[in-house]
Every structure is written in structure tokens, then in C-alpha cells.
Chains A and B, each alone.
Chain A
């Protein structure tokens, strides 16, 4: 079966711009979560959605936001981009609300210049 699909795979943006990343979960998975991965901080939790509702949120500024649609697809938006937002953004999906056996996508590599 198809895995978690993230688009685009690579993105280059300028400081101050905004960006939207997309994640299509495995069919039937209702939980989608987002993570930021950087060499210095490792993987950090951004937020989790279940049935279009945000269930959990990490310690990131309000410039980072997300949403989930009725088909479980999710988008993440970052406004007023900063150089420090350059990272690999990973999306993961799961059948249930809990994180048992999350399946990750390959990520979107965002570079802010």
C-alpha cells in the first residue's frame, strides 16, 4: 500500500516569505503529526491532528501552524520565515490517536536563504 506522501520534497524560500507543506497519510490513518529535524536539535514535535482537530502542540512559535482536512490530508504553514527554520520537516501518520507505530514520510527539505 502507498506510504505517507509529502510534497514538495525540496523547497527554497527567502526570509520573510511563507511556505505551505503537504502531507497525505496512509489510507485509513486518521492521525497526522508533524516534526522538525535539524542537526543541532534532532527531531522535535510540532503538532498532531486527529479527525481535523489539533490534539497536541509542541513548543514552537505561532508562525508554525497546521490543519487537517476531512480526508485526513494535512498541511503545515510557516509564516515570516527565518534562517533558523531551515530543516527537514517530517510528517507521520497512524491509525489511532496514540503514536503506536507511526509511519513517517520522507520529508520536505526546506532551505531559507
Chain B
């Protein structure tokens, strides 16, 4: 069974304090690993898709990386507007999306 585990559950940072969010996974036939951002009361917003180990994607202060067992979302010099819940989502051979429980990030000014 495909599984996704995100850590930590919650993370508090000061503005400008860089950190990383972790997503550990087990999958049969990886088709894609996705990162989404979700703000309270809204649907998830697509950030990145990673397809194979070694791949990296960047967008503004965010950088996603992928290994055969983990994905990291690195946040460089975060701002308060980066506060949100970040979701790691896995798609394996069954094509069903499997969601992690998310990491709630709070960035204090």
C-alpha cells in the first residue's frame, strides 16, 4: 500500500529563518510526487511535481527535492505570507492520489 508520512506536523519559524519539511514515502511504481500549499478554508494550491530521484524544482523561496525514499521542501528566508499547510501527495501505479497529513508552517514577522 502506498504511504506518505510528513514531518514535522507543525513548524514555527522567524521571518528569514530557513528550514526544510520532510516527506517520507513508500510506493509501488512512482508516477509522481506533488507538493501543494493549502491556506485555511481553501483548496490546495499546486506547487511542484517531481517524477524521479535526483530531480529538483524551484519557485521563489521554495525548492523541492526527491530521493528514492524522501522528498524535501526547502524554504529559504521565509516571509509571513509563506504561512500555510504544505501537503505532500503521492501517485503510484494505481494512479490514486495519497495525501500526507501536512506540515503546518507559521512564519512570524
Q: Which residues of A contact B (CB under 8 A)?
A: 4, 33, 35, 42-45, 48, 55-56, 58, 90, 92, 97-107
Nearest CB to that of B44 among chain A residues?
A104
Q: What mask results when residues 7 to 39 of chain B are scored 1 for a CB within 8 Å of chain A, else 0?
A: 000000000000000000000000110101000
Contact B43 A56 (CB under 8 A): no
Q: How many residues of B are counted as interface, with CB atoms below 8 angstroms from the partner's CB atoms?
A: 23
Interface residues of B in 34-73 (CB under 8 A from A): 34, 36, 41-46, 49
B41 touches A33 (CB 8 A): no
Question: How many residue-residue contacts, CB under 8 A, span A and B?
Answer: 58
CA distance A104 to B43 in the complex (A): 5
Q: Verify A42–B99 contact, CB threshold 8 A.
A: yes
Contact at B101–A42, with CB atoms within 8 Å? yes
Known: A98-B32, A104-B36. 18 other contacts (CB 8 A): A4-B43, A35-B97, A42-B99, A42-B101, A48-B95, A48-B96, A56-B94, A56-B95, A58-B96, A90-B43, A90-B44, A98-B91, A98-B95, A99-B31, A99-B89, A101-B49, A104-B44, A104-B46
Complex Cα distance, B100 from A64, in Å, reads 22
- Give which listed residue, B43, B89, B95, contacts A105 with CB less than 8 A: B43
CB distance from A86 to the nearest CB of B (A): 15
> CB-CB < 8 A to A105: which residues of B?
43
Q: Which applies to chain A's interface (DSSP): helix, strand, loop or mixed?
A: strand
Query: Is B105 engaged at the interface, CB distance under 8 Å to the other chain?
Result: no
Q: List 27 A-B contacts (CB under 8 A).
A: A33-B97, A42-B99, A42-B102, A43-B44, A43-B87, A44-B99, A48-B95, A58-B96, A90-B43, A97-B95, A98-B31, A98-B32, A98-B91, A98-B95, A99-B95, A99-B97, A100-B32, A100-B49, A101-B46, A101-B49, A104-B36, A104-B44, A104-B45, A106-B41, A106-B42, A106-B43, A107-B42
